[in-house]
């Protein structure tokens, strides 16, 4: 313990992403600069202003989810449960009646079961209320990835689902970290899951002018920090971590993959979608994470940026990083893995936390692909186009969401 708080370590990782449906494939995709963006296949997007996305490909939950059950689950829940099962297997954590009430689950989601909501709305309109599925509500509510993961794993400890838009996955990890610090649980299964590549989801973000409209070249559409960026690319998937108190992990002989050391969160209280000019709220979240972990800015070796590829976010996040990290900001590698995966909304914090732990383990910084025209307003070292070997000790992960939610997580290499 430190000052009465438990140290919290990472012992398991799970990932279902547009560039790989296992942690190994995801990491291989990240360090090779694999592009996960292509034409939408989940629905007919021919009438849409944006006709591409970062879909999860070749996803088959067979063996991890019973086929009968899978029919009753929204797609985001399938992603979340599969990633959670991967993480538990990676951690080698056995859950039994003896320890279930000390193991909790928190999987955040920005919008929950949007596909179910749309599909059943069409049923209601076309066939009447009597034909609406009795599974409609449990399929669409955003807490159900957490609920179904808890059922599948048998976890009976602290359980909740954060819904802070694109910060949800990081908030879920941060909240789980805090519970473990306080000794309210021995282990937590936490992260984010999302599947909002639907007609309404794509049309809504397009109408808000948040998406890229690079239909002629979707592979280069997600281009964070590039001068020619024109919006984000919507993605889907899930990232889940198993966190444990250090004492619990050591007692069972677990392999420790990394350590969570800081959590900061703020609210811009400024606008429903736009960040505060100058990235003031994001900068404060970063400072809080540093203070929480007793970390000096000079110790930061890498920042996994929110980096959405929107004009406003990338410029303001650049200012936030400079404000929080001071003179060293221009020397610290700052990359956006969304250049490859697209933006998973509430799931993004989950897969990006996984990326941070893997970067610490392997000593490799993932690149920002599609960076061809540097923007003077985004003058950070964005690790353009190729991964970089570098010894990493402490890294930050930023997540910012509609509604002004800002989250920063700090991770350290396992010691």
* DSSP string for residues in 273-296: SSPPGGGHHHHHHHHHHHHHTT--
166 is catalytic: yes
- For the sheet with 405-413, list strands across it: 159-160, 103-108, 187-195, 236-245, 8-16, 258-267, 405-413, 394-401, 302-304, 334-335
Task: Tell me the sheet residues that pair with 334.
Answer: 303
The tally of CA atoms less than 13 A away on the side-chain side of residue 72 is 11
**C-alpha–C-alpha distance, residues 87 and 164, integer Å:** 23
Q: Which of 50, 77, 166, 378 is catalytic?
A: 166
Using alpha carbons only, give the angle 188, 191, 192 rounded to the nearest 5 degrees. 150
Phi and psi dihedrals of 245, rounded to 5? Answer: -65, 150
* DSSP string for residues in 87-130: HHHHHT----TTTGGGEEEEEE-SS--HHHHHHHHHHHHHH-GG
Q: DSSP letter at 17?
A: B
Contact in structure between 196 and 344 (CB atoms under 8 Å)? no
Indicate which residues carry an active-site annotation.
Answer: 166
């Amino acid at each position: 313990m430190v000052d009465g708080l438990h140290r919290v370590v990472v012992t398991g990782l799970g990932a279902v992403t547009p560039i790989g449906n296992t942690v190994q494939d995801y990491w291989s995709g990240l360090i090779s600069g694999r592009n996960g963006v292509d034409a939408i296949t989940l629905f007919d997007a021919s009438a849409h202003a944006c006709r591409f996305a970062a879909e999860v490909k070749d996803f088959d939950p067979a063996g991890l989810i019973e086929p009968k059950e899978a029919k009753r689950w929204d797609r985001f829940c399938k992603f979340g449960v599969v990633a959670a099962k991967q993480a538990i297997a990676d951690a080698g954590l056995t859950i039994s009646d003896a320890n279930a009430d000390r193991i909790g689950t928190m999987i955040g989601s920005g919008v929950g079961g949007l596909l179910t909501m749309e599909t059943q709305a069409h049923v209601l309109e076309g066939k009447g209320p009597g034909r609406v599925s009795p599974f409609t509500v449990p399929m669409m509510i955003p807490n159900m990835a957490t609920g179904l993961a808890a059922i599948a794993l048998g976890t009976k400890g602290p359980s909740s689902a954060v819904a802070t838009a694109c910060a949800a996955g990081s908030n879920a990890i941060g909240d789980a970290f805090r519970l473990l610090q306080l000794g309210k649980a021995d282990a937590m299964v936490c992260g984010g899951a999302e599947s909002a590549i639907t007609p309404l989801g794509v049309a809504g973000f397009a109408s808000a002018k948040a998406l890229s409209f690079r239909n002629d070249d979707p592979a280069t559409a997600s281009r964070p920090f590039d001068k020619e960026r024109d919006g984000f690319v919507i993605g889907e998937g899930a990232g889940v971590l198993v966190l444990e108190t250090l004492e619990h992990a050591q007692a069972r002989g677990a392999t420790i993959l990394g350590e969570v050391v800081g959590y900061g969160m703020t609210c811009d209280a400024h606008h429903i979608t736009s960040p505060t000019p100058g990235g003031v709220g994001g900068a404060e979240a970063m400072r809080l994470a540093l203070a929480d972990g007793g970390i000096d800015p000079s110790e930061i070796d890498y920042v996994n940026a929110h980096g959405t590829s929107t004009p406003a976010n990338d410029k303001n996040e650049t200012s936030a990083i400079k404000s929080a990290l001071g003179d060293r900001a221009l020397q610290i590698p700052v990359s956006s893995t969304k250049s490859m995966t697209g933006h998973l909304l509430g799931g993004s914090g989950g897969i990006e936390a996984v990326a941070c732990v893997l970067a610490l383990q392997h000593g490799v910084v993932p690149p920002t692909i599609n960076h061809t025209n540097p923007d003077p307003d985004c003058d950070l070292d964005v690790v353009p186009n190729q991964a970089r070997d570098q010894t990493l000790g402490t890294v930050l992960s930023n997540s910012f969401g509609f509604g002004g939610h800002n989250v920063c997580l700090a991770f350290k290499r396992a010691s």
